[in-house]
Amino acid sequence: MPAATRPTLEAIAREASVSLSTVSKVLNGRPGVSPSTRRRVEDLLHDSGYARRGVDAERGDTVELVIENLASEWSVEVIRGVERVARENGLAMVLSTIGDYHAVGDELITGVLRRKPVAIVLQFSNLTADHRRQLRTRNIPFVVVDPAGDPPADVPAIGATNWAGGLAATRHLVALGHRRIAAIGGPADLMCSRARLAGYHAALQEAGIPVPSAIGGGGFSREDGEREGRRLLGGADRPTAIVCANDMQALGVYDAAFALGLEVPRDVSVVGFDDAPSASWARPPLTTIRQPLQEMAEEATRLALRLRAGEVESTRLELATTLVQRGSTAPPRS
């Protein structure tokens, strides 16, 4: 197909040996096209450099947010941030869930193409190369909030300083006089989990404290925190402090300590990560690392809208985390 002229749908249809209506179905995410034909047309749309323009009249007035589920406080904070910026710009927010860790499927992307949002914001999610191509062909900008891994350089993303947060949490406990400091990590496949744990390691090494051989790990749930808390606190040489990968894990450690007849912070100091609303409601209120979740979601939405407007700027940003000291940490008992 000649590169000197802007490709047309008619030319793509001829090249693919299909009707114009078939190309239109693929472009708009409609059913009635075989997988092999759909893939052939998608490849031609991409290879020809086709990018949809002048479609604002038929595009909706929505920003689509894709999250893992509705059950976590993390997701609620992200929803608030996206909805606020969408409303400020005269747009509505559409919510989709993926139901499993950062696994965006073809069905969801096909739905996005049908709905034609102004932009899309994704929680955690890593888009495949094919998904990115499809969205760009339709001129639908996308931004990832708190990416699960290390996204390709062309994927806009808004994150937080996870390593610095793990460092600050552990330094706080060291400054209180703790030397037996355990940690519970999050899912090993998430970059944020690895970064928080690396910050913990760095703070211990900085203080000349050996890194414990047994470090807890698992998911981000309260049940995971309780299970690992029981294991860490059930031994004879139990830690005097525990750094957790998120607030729900930390509340699970509260449950484990209570079940074992221990008190927070008298017998064990606990630090969480996120500063979700439940952190301040806990008893004692939880010392935690504040991750600016709403602000991250707001910045992601603003970035997506600026990308749609064609503004050229940096597409990567990390917002600062900060220590919020409350009642769950204290100097160790003699």
pLDDT, tens only, 206-229:
999 998 877 878 888 999 999 999
Position 100 scores a pLDDT of 57
Q: How confident is the model at residue 4 (pLDDT cuts 50, 70, 90)?
A: very low
Distance in angstroms (rounded) separating the CA atoms of residues 53 and 86: 22
Higher pLDDT, 327 or 147: 327
Average pLDDT over residues 303-316: 83
Backbone angles phi, psi at 265, to 5 degrees: -100, 10
Identify any residues that bridge with 159 across adjacent strands, giving them in sequence order: 318
Distance in angstroms (rounded) separating the CA atoms of residues 99 and 128: 17
268: left (phi over 0), alpha (psi -120 to 50) or beta: beta
CA distances from 306 to 7, 90, 92, 143 (A): 26, 15, 17, 11
Q: How confident is the model at residue 113 (pLDDT cuts 50, 70, 90)?
A: confident
Residue matched to tokens 């957790």: 244
For the chain, list the domains and their CATH numbers: 9-47 (1.10.260.40), 62-160+293-319 (3.40.50.2300), 162-292 (3.40.50.2300)
Average pLDDT over residues 265-278: 95
Identify any residues that bridge with 319 across adjacent strands, giving them in sequence order: 160
Q: Which of 169-173, 232-236, 269-273 has the lowest mean pLDDT?
A: 232-236
Nearest to 140 by CA among 43, 233, 227, 29: 29
Average pLDDT over residues 237-247: 95
Model confidence at 102: pLDDT above 60: no
Give me the sheet containing 119-123, strands edge to edge.
92-97, 62-67, 119-123, 142-145, 157-160, 316-319
Position 259 scores a pLDDT of 97
Counting residues of the chain whose pLDDT is more than 90, the rounded percentage is 53
Position 73 scores a pLDDT of 81
Distance in angstroms (rounded) separating the CA atoms of residues 52 and 140: 9
Backbone angles phi, psi at 183, to 5 degrees: -140, 150
Identify any residues that bridge with 243 across adjacent strands, giving them in sequence order: 183, 271
For residue 226 the two structure tokens come to 């309780």
Whole-number mean pLDDT of the chain?
Answer: 86
Identify any residues that bridge with 273 across adjacent strands, giving them in sequence order: 289
Q: What is residue 100's three-state secondary structure? A: coil
Q: At what angle do helices 35-47 and 9-16 cross, to 10 degrees?
A: 130
Burial level of 227, CB count in 10 A (0-12/13-18/19+)? buried
Position 81 scores a pLDDT of 95
Distance in angstroms (rounded) separating the CA atoms of residues 152 and 201: 27
Identify any residues that bridge with 65 across adjacent strands, giving them in sequence order: 95, 121
Burial level of 144, CB count in 10 A (0-12/13-18/19+)? buried
Higher pLDDT, 296 or 54: 296
Q: How confident is the model at residue 310 (pLDDT cuts 50, 70, 90)?
A: confident
